[in-house]
A and B are shown apart, each in its own frame.
Chain A
Amino acid sequence: MPKIFKIFLLIMLLSLCGASVYAQKYGIYKKTLDNGLDVIVIHNPAVPLITVEIDVKNGSFTESPEYDGLSHLYEHMFFKANSKIPNQEAYMERLRELGATWNGTTSEERVNYFLTAPVDSLEQCVQFMYDAVTSPLFLEDELVKERPVVTGEYDRNEANPYFHLNHEVSKRVWWKYYSRKNVIGDREVILSTTPEKMRTIQHRYYIPNNSALILAGDITPETGFDLAEKIFSKWKRGPNPFDEYKVPDNPPIPKNEVVVVKKPVNAVTMQCVWQGPSVGKDPKSTYAADVLSFILGQETSKFQKDLVESGLAYGVNFSYYTLNHTGPITLFAQTSIDKFDACQKAVFAELKKMTDPDYFTDEQLENAKTILATDEQYGRERASQYAHTVGFWWAVAGLDYYLNYIDNLKKITREDIKNYLEKYVVDKPHVLGVLVSPDQAEKVDLILNIKEGEIKDDSKN
């Protein structure tokens, strides 16, 4: 081997070791900077764009009642003045100069901010994101102006009848710490918030060791890591927020409940929710949950044949939403008032059959794993959206969980699914919500044996 090549190889190896770079699956590479910031590069050069995304482990799960909805308000304030940009107008102008499309989202356990732009804007975009995340000003006048904008978003949610169904069910499922699942928050808290509260959130959660920088698209891992090091290594580490501000465990639902929500709608919708697994405590059940959901989604499944092909429901869905602090298991069914009684009986009869050995076939079990794996493949086609997916898993379950997800799904057996159902669903307390128009509510009340104004304790279901 020529000497110069040996030296080159040595330099390459050293640089890889020194940077703690992990070459991973799916074109995903990760490195952790000295300040604790996880940098994730997703290499997909299909189009000459770059998505720059910041993910923060913040969201409603960090909110005690006096902060209810403030992670979301903070997300709005992110797009305003910072130490480099004097106000939101200048902020928007800079994004236009970069050719960027942009947005942010808040959910239970993750807040993300992202912009997508032509790849020649890469460095400016990363610098822009750094300034926004590290030096927001929370100007009093900008905060005052943003409050009605957020309540305007609240108004739009309240105009949607399904928001009310979800709200009524959720506040009973998460009865003790509802603010920690209520992303949109409380109007009064939003309208009375102060810059100090924003700064508290910033100092507590917007620190590099609680965040990830994702660079996705037409970028190599070397370029991404060098740029992240150059721009983001100045960001100062803080104490782990979850050491001091612990997230309380959700106590179980005390008893089965039924709530009827009356809104002017043209179908009857059932939403039944159980408390499911937390991914950090019971990861195996989360894989079993996903496999089961995709078995039940197949048109050949007993679940779909008994409920939809029979004509009892327009559609049914049984799903688990992965979270680290108790994810919900949700059964959703939609039908007409004429078929509501038969449909709700059939739904609960179906639940009782799910642990039967012949409830699903071996083919359906294997198909579910194939569907989950190829859906991931379809998702990777779109780098700008895939950044959000990877960011979500990083925040909620850790990147390793996601990278090993398909391998772990493949290991799931019938026994694992049965254990999951017995641990979280069968004979476990749940809240059933029914959304119905006011003129048909009486019929639903009669079927469910509910007296006016009563919330039913329905322990036998």
Chain B
Amino acid sequence: MIPRTKIMLLILFSLLFSIPVLAQEAQSFEVNGLKVIFKQNTSNDIVSANMYFKGGVTNLTEKQAGLESLTLDVSSKATKNYPKDKLNEALERMNSKLNSNSNDDYSNLSILCVKQNFDESWKIFADVILNPVFSEEDLNLERDKMISAVKQVNDNPDALLQKEVNHEFYVDHPYSIEVNGTQETLSSFTPGDLKAYHSGMLETSRMLLVVVGNTTLEDLKSMVNDAFGSITKGSYVTKMPPEVEMSEPSLKVVYRELPTNYIQGTFSAPERGTEEGNTMLIASSILRDRLFEEVRTKRSLSYAPAAFYRANFSNYGAIYVTAVKPDTTIKVMINELQKMKDEPISDKELKDKIRQFLTGYYLGNETNQSQANLLAFYELSGPGYEQAAKFIQNVSKVTPEEIQKAAQKYMKNLQFVLIGNPKSLEISSFMY
């Protein structure tokens, strides 16, 4: 007779290897120093190509906040071979989606298209990367939109909370530089600044290309070679941002007239993709389930209690809630944190949780774009893209004892931020 846990693992592994799309493993090759990760998917007619630029805010000074994000944004408006109208007409005719995005750790310029339009879409994608024109007119338009978006962060309590949390948690840290800039920094950039910054980005050692979709390895190699075979290789080395350690708890209150209070308590957390990171991922997810049950189901204290574990290179975990009674609610939440430290979780709770992770893992692999982002995250954050496919095997190794130890090590010295106008506030309730 096979023990139940082994049967469970057998089922999990048989599911992992039973389907065509995931059986097509990602592979990599290099062209002129540019690492390319390719995963073929012939189950649909869609192709997602993504150029990632390494470094994120570690590339920027305080005065350059927002420069990489704005550079990529303006670069996709017009190029040497595709003036604005020609570029837009071509994208609209094919409905190919050209997007750029920047986070603290890296930026991404992507094209999503149907298979029959991949050749033409790729030409536009490559020209946007290699030959943007950075006109003053485009810069001014995109700058105004970005400044407005930056100011509007203050209009949304959730966005404002995340901004305040980052300020409190990442003091004297690269992440204290705003990835999307400030009104002051964005206002200062000239087309010359964007051109100079862009030329620095164009080193193959600073770039990573990830393509997932219905194309072939041979075609892709030829396309990459033609487009990027002759640009500078450079010697870019990613500077990993330091981890943050908190020595004491804190609470910051930002007064706003709101019908409820938005609260987040943040704690240091290990890197994702590592053994400790996998442990924290499960600990955080179990904590979220328990907060839902204790805060929402049993006590009706909130619609939205949560716990989460970010996916930054320098990381934090957090508890989050919106509540009209902050003191009572936070006491219940901290009691649950303490339980994670005092009692190991049961084997059943762990087994069920791993099964839910299996679902989450496959949901993250439903689209070519999401697969590309997952592969890039594992590659850029350190473990390597091959680890993405080993996620379920890796989290399946985590034990209840490890979860308890991770809770004891990390879930302490919470940095709370509260946005709202509470009738009363017992500060000691937040000091954990």
On whether the beta carbons of A159 and B352 are closer than 8 Å, the reply is no
Output the least CB separation between A382 and chain B (Å): 5
Output the least CB separation between B179 and chain A (Å): 19
Name the A residues within 8 Å of B300 (CB-CB): 145-149
Q: For chain B residues 253-290, which have a beta carbon within 8 Å of chain A?
A: 258-260, 262, 289
Output the least CB separation between B39 and chain A (Å): 13
Q: CB-nearest residue of chain A relative to B356?
A: A99
Name the B residues within 8 Å of A377 (CB-CB): 45-46, 114
- Given A46-B44, A300-B85, A101 contacting B366 (CB threshold 8 A): no
Output the least CB separation between A363 and chain B (Å): 7
Give the complex CA separation of A132 and B293 in angstroms: 19
Name the A residues within 8 Å of B365 (CB-CB): 47
Name the B residues within 8 Å of A96 (CB-CB): 289, 349, 352-353, 355-356
- Given A92-B293, A159-B258, A266-B154, A382 contacting B145 (CB threshold 8 A): no
Output the least CB separation between A129 and chain B (Å): 16
On whether the beta carbons of A116 and B297 are closer than 8 Å, the reply is no
B129 located at the interface, meaning its Cβ lies under 8 Å from any Cβ of chain A in the complex: no
Q: For chain A residues 230-268, which have a beta carbon within 8 Å of chain B?
A: 263-267
- Given A46-B366, A266-B155, A101 contacting B95 (CB threshold 8 A): no
Stretch of B14-22, B55-63, B312-320, B398-406 lying at the A interface: B14-22
A49 located at the interface, meaning its Cβ lies under 8 Å from any Cβ of chain B in the complex: yes
On whether the beta carbons of B363 and A49 are closer than 8 Å, the reply is yes
On whether the beta carbons of A382 and B366 are closer than 8 Å, the reply is yes
Select the residue from A46, A149, A158, A363 with max chain B CB neighbours within 10 A: A46
On whether the beta carbons of A48 and B92 are closer than 8 Å, the reply is no
On whether the beta carbons of B22 and A47 are closer than 8 Å, the reply is yes
B141 located at the interface, meaning its Cβ lies under 8 Å from any Cβ of chain A in the complex: yes
B343 located at the interface, meaning its Cβ lies under 8 Å from any Cβ of chain A in the complex: no
Stretch of A53-61, A275-283, A309-317, A417-425 lying at the B interface: A309-317
Q: CB-nearest residue of chain A relative to B46?
A: A381
On whether the beta carbons of A88 and B297 are closer than 8 Å, the reply is yes
A5 located at the interface, meaning its Cβ lies under 8 Å from any Cβ of chain B in the complex: no
B11 located at the interface, meaning its Cβ lies under 8 Å from any Cβ of chain A in the complex: yes
Give the complex CA separation of A79 and B92 in angstroms: 43
Give the complex CA separation of A120 and B22 in angstroms: 17
A378 located at the interface, meaning its Cβ lies under 8 Å from any Cβ of chain B in the complex: yes
Judged by DSSP, the binding face of B is helix
Name the A residues within 8 Å of B112 (CB-CB): 378
Give the complex CA separation of A27 and B260 in angstroms: 45
Q: How many interface residues does B have (CB within 8 Å)?
A: 66
- Given A101-B359, A152-B304, A381-B367, A267 contacting B289 (CB threshold 8 A): no
On whether the beta carbons of B148 and A336 are closer than 8 Å, the reply is yes
On whether the beta carbons of B156 and A367 are closer than 8 Å, the reply is no
On whether the beta carbons of B92 and A299 are closer than 8 Å, the reply is yes
A440 located at the interface, meaning its Cβ lies under 8 Å from any Cβ of chain B in the complex: no
Q: CB-nearest residue of chain A relative to B151?
A: A266
**Chain A to chain B: the 3 pairs with minimum beta-carbon distance, closest first:** A99-B355, A152-B303, A266-B151
Task: Add 12 more A-B contacts to A45-B19, A92-B292 (CB < 8 A).
Answer: A99-B358, A118-B355, A120-B11, A148-B300, A155-B260, A159-B322, A300-B92, A311-B140, A314-B149, A364-B92, A367-B92, A381-B46
28 contacts between A and B (CB under 8 A): A45-B19, A47-B366, A92-B289, A92-B292, A92-B293, A96-B289, A97-B355, A101-B356, A101-B363, A118-B11, A118-B15, A118-B362, A149-B302, A150-B303, A152-B303, A155-B260, A155-B324, A159-B260, A218-B19, A265-B155, A267-B152, A300-B85, A300-B89, A311-B140, A315-B145, A367-B92, A367-B95, A374-B95
